[in-house]
């Protein structure tokens, strides 16, 4: 998988995720599958319980099907999933 700014256009439901950093210390280290997404939050299945994590205050590590791990700042993901397809992100490298 090529890592590009288009990563924010991916479908995240069903993807393995880990919270790398967060302004809420209780969220750091939560890992599991993304089972739901709203405009401002991800619902993550962590140890059999559904945890809701705010996007704008967290940094996520997503693991895709080909075992690629990508770090994404949650501020880039804020917005309805269907509206992220329209979002343009400048390439920084």
pTM: 0.84
What superfamily would CATH give domain 5-76? Ribonuclease P/MRP, subunit p29 (2.30.30.210)
- Tens of pLDDT along 46-55? 999 999 999 9
Q: How far is CA 27 from CA 24, 49, 82, in A?
A: 6, 13, 25
Mark the ranges of the chain whose per-residue pLDDT is less than 50: none
What pLDDT does 46 receive?
96
In the chain, what are the domain boundaries? 5-76
């Amino acid at each position: 998988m090529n890592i590009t700014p288009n990563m924010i256009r991916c479908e995240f439901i069903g993807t393995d995720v880990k919270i790398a950093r967060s302004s809420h210390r209780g969220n750091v280290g939560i890992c599991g599958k993304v089972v739901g997404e709203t405009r401002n939050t991800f619902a993550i299945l962590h140890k059999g319980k559904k945890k809701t994590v705010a996007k704008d205050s967290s940094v996520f590590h997503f693991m895709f099907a080909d075992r690629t791990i990508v770090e994404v700042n949650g501020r880039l993901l804020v917005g309805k999933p269907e509206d992220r397809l329209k979002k343009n992100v400048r390439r920084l490298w």
